[in-house]
Every structure is written in structure tokens, then in C-alpha cells.
Chain A
Amino acid sequence: MLRIGSGAGFSGDRLEPAVILAERGKLDYLVLECLAERTIASAQKRKRQNPSHGYDALLDKRMELLLPVIKKNRVRLITNMGAANPIAAAERIVQIAQRQGISIKVAAVTGDDVLEHINLEEHSLEMDKPLSSYGEIISANAYLGADALLPALESGAEIIVTGRVADPSMFLAPMVYHYGWSLDDIDRMAQGTVIGHLLECAGQITGGYFADPGKKEVPHMAQLGFPFADVDSDGKAVISKLEGTGGLINLATAKEQLLYEVTDPTGYITPDVVVDFRSVRLREVGHNKVEVSNSSGRKKPSTLKVSIGYHAGFVGEGEISYAGPNALKRAKLAGEIIYERLKDHFTELRIDYIGSSSVHRTSFHHYSEPYEIRLRVAGKASTKEQAEQIGLEVEALYTNGPAGGGGARKYVNEVIGIISSLIPREKVKPHVTIRECRV
């Protein structure tokens, strides 16, 4: 039996669940998925400013906590915290290990950075216009598959640090390596991919992002346990979590996560396989234990998806609150004033009434007057200075707007847009670099 744990579902995820898994989970592998689409583009910018930067901002913290435990318990770690600079991340991990008096061998997997190989005149997958027309391109990273991780696993490295790799592939790779599965064994690739997909968001299958008081109760969410899978040589797996941790795993949590972010359940495309979710079987086989089996699929695509980051200008935001009698009408008057003053200066401007209709863009048939309302104004601009104008205008409502406005706040953020395209597989050449220390 092979046991793989999931210790992070996004870059800012909680730190200690991974430590608890590594400490008493009897894991063979621990996978940390920490790389969202935009993260790699902002990491690329940091790398340009300093060639030794460009990896995940929480790398130091996670490694300081995990290194002693994974070393002691012989757990191999796989993570995409390398972001835009896996080699620098490997070097940093070795530094931390040296400081802690731990011998370690780290493999950095590169080759996902294809910025030099993409044709900017090709059209994006999202809209029928060339990549070059979006704005200055910052980064282009191909999604590597499980095959790219195999040389790193074969090297004997205890830690494998990557840049962009398809999330489920980080889980499939150790299954392929451990059991010697053929990469052409489509049903096993599909099954391993489904297991990876169920685990990749960590707490999202153990009761995180699930609770709804009175409808879907989840115990002890402050101590949510993260999941692990026991995978057998045929690919059948049982997903569970450690005794004494919070959360729950049942059919409902597994179904929500199985379908999460899947745009086509009849053909879920990864670099390794195209999975058909219509054959997947889920079964509760014990308390907090769900078995997953019977995944099927089709041959992997001949192209790899490339995620491309570009400069998309700046977003300026301003907020101010109104409360008590007639709050909504006073907020709406404030919104109208702002709209009149800004509408000719911004191509895209948004006025929201938080507490009423901001996140769903409607409140359906709920018409009751809220006690308090927060006006939010957001707009896009090509320069930071212009974006700042939004917050300033909202702030000026203090002395120029309706009665009783309070708590004005203003923000400006740089925007990195993401588009995608495809690249032929043969243009992408994964590479492994070893960094190690003996103490």
C-alpha cells in the first residue's frame, strides 16, 4: 500500500496540518500544492528583480517546520513551491537544512518556463485575439505532467520542488514511480488523476469549504485535519484523515470536491490523461473513509496547456459605510455622486452595495432593508495614479457626500491577467537539478 498525504491546498494554507500528517500519518509522500495561476507571474517579476528570488513566499516557514519531521519519518516531499524559480527554492531548502543540521537531497524540476518558445501572434484559448494584444507578457508556463517528475523521483531526492505542474500530476507521479505503472496505462492514469484531484485542495475534502450550520455540520473546524489516500497497486484508493483531527470525510464532501473546477466531467484534461468522471465510483467504507475506484479515460493530449501572465493595469477601490435609518438610500446617493464624477474617466467602473447586492449582482427576492450598507467603488486604470483617484473620490464623500458616511478605505492593486494557449509537447523539455548537503 502507498500512502500519500496532502499538506497544502493553496499558497496561503494553514501550516500545521501538514506537520501533523508528517508526524503521525505514516506517510510515504507528502504533497504541498501552493501555486495558483497568478502566483507564478508575480513570482516571475520578483525573480527579475533578484535572480535568487521567485519561489513561494512561505517556503521558509513551511520547510523549517517540516524538514525535521519528514527526515525523521522518511516522508518524501513533493511541492510546486518552486514557482518561477525551482532551483533557487532547492538552494534555499538546502540552506535551511544545513542550519538545522539535517542532510538533505533536493531535486528541482524545471522546463515549465516556455516564455521564449511561445508565439505571441497565436490566439489565446479564451478570446479570438492574439496573445500580444493583451498587454505586456510577464510569464508563460506549461503545465508539466507526472512524467516530468519521474527522473526526480528516481534520483532518490527526499524533496522534489517544481514550478508549474498540473496539480493532480504531483500526486499521480509517486503512484507511477512506486508501482511501476506504465504511462500508457490509461485507466490507472485516470484513477491516479482522480485521486490527485480529490486531494489537491487539501482541507476541501475533509470538511473545509463545506460547513453550513444546521444543514452541513462539520466538527472542530479550527483543527481541520488534512487528507491522505491509501492507494493500492490497481489504483483503488481510500481517502481518510487522522484520528483526533477536526473535519469530516463522507460522500458529500467527496462529491463536492470531485466536481470542483471541472469544466467538462466527460473529458477532464491533464498532461497525463483525459478522464471521464462518469465512471468514477465513490463509497463510504468506514467513519471518515471514502473509497474511490473505477475511473476511466482516454489518451493524453498531444499538446500541453500554457498559462500566460500579462500586465493588466491597476484596480483602484474605495469603500465607505452608511448605517441606521435610510442607510441604503444614502449609500445609493453616494454611489450616484461618484458615478457622475468618474464615469467619463474610467472605461470599467463598478458600484456595489455591500450587504445588499454586491457579490451576486442581485439579491433575488430578498427586499428587506439592511441596517447597514457599505458602498464599494472599483475601477480599472492603466496607471497607478489614475487608479488612486477612485479611493480619493470615495474618501471625499466625508465632507461632500450624504450624511453619516463612515469608515472610508482606499486600495490600489496591480493586476496580472491570465490567459492560456497550447504548446506541442516536444517543445517542452523538463530538466532535473540536484542540490544537497551532508552534515
Chain B
Amino acid sequence: MKKKLYELAHCRAGDKGNTLILSLIPYKEQDYDVLCENVTPEAVKNHLKEIIKGDVIRYELPNISALQFVCYNALLGGVTTSLNIDTHGKSLSYALLELEIEI
């Protein structure tokens, strides 16, 4: 069955320079393993290919049942010089949640 991440998890986006940081936190802690299995760095990079031009690194935090994706070269230069209307990329949390996974 296909499900959007939006149904399973929530996310907050942050920025440091040209790096986009996306957390992924399941509503139910038991869904953490499903997310680990399906939401690989490759899947995120492919889903956000219009946005992320560099590498994606995934950090696993089983202590709080959450994942963190650190996405390089993703913010058109970063908050201070980006021409994007959302210079921080703050709204991109919901771009990640558009990703569909098979569970």
C-alpha cells in the first residue's frame, strides 16, 4: 500500500548557509523502523531532485525515534543571497512529506 509521509510523520525544516536540514518524526514511535527502511538518503535525494543539488546524509536517532536529513547545496546559495521567495527553505518540510512510500 502506498502512503504519503505526511500521513505517518511530521517534519521541521531548518537551514545553515546553503544546507537544508529536514527532520522526520513518526507520529507513532513504532513506525520508526518503517521510515528507516523506506526513507533512504537516495529516496530523499531523488524525490527532491529539483531542490537538492548536493549530497544527502541521513542520521538515525533511535533514542527519540527520529531521522535527520542533511541536504547540501539545496537553498540556491542560502538565506542571505537566495532569490527564492522562501529564502530559508522553511516551507520545504512539506515537500519532504509529499514523498510516497510503499508499506
Contact = CB atoms under 8 A, between A and B. Distances in A.
A255 B62 CA distance: 12
A261 to B, nearest CB: 3
B30 interface: no
Contact of B70 (A38, A263, A416, A420): A263
Contact of A209 (B12, B27, B63, B64): B12
A259 B19 contact: no
Nearest to B89: A359
A263 B98 contact: no
Nearest to B18: A126
Contacts of B23: 255-256, 259-260
Interface stretch (A74-82, A239-247, A277-285): A277-285
A266 to B, nearest CB: 6
Contacts of B15: 261
Given A126-B17, A126-B18, A260-B12, A280 B80 contact: no
Contact of B81 (A262, A312, A358, A359): A312
A277 B86 CA distance: 28
Interface string A354-369: 1000111110100000
Contact of B68 (A252, A265, A352, A361): A265
Contacts of B85: 352, 354, 358-359, 376, 378
Contacts of A362: 50-51, 95
A182 to B, nearest CB: 26
A274 interface: no
Interface residues of B, number: 37
B56 interface: no
B46 to A, nearest CB: 12
B83 A380 contact: yes
A37 B15 CA distance: 12
B64 A261 contact: no
Contacts of B83: 315, 348-350, 378-380
A361 B63 contact: no
Contacts of B17: 126, 418, 420
Contact of A417 (B63, B81, B95): B81
Contacts of B68: 259, 262, 265
Given A261-B21, A361-B84, A379-B83, A280 B63 contact: yes
A294 to B, nearest CB: 8
Interface in B38-81: 50-51, 59, 61-64, 66, 68, 70, 78-81
Given A263-B70, A265-B61, A277-B61, A359 B84 contact: yes
Interface residues of A, number: 50
A61 interface: no
B35 interface: no
A278 B16 contact: no
Contacts of A265: 59, 61, 68
A349 B12 CA distance: 29
A379 B29 CA distance: 45
B66 A262 contact: no
Interface string A306-335: 000000100100000000000000000000
Interface string A160-193: 0000000000000000000000000000000000
A332 B16 CA distance: 33
Contact of A364 (B27, B80, B98): B98
Contacts of A258: 64
B78 to A, nearest CB: 8
Given A256-B25, A360-B51, A415-B81, A261 B16 contact: yes
B12 A256 contact: yes
A73 B17 CA distance: 40
Contacts of B19: 263
A216 B10 contact: yes
Nearest to A281: B63
A416 B51 contact: no
Contacts of A416: 80
A212 B10 contact: yes
Interface in A402-422: 415-418, 420
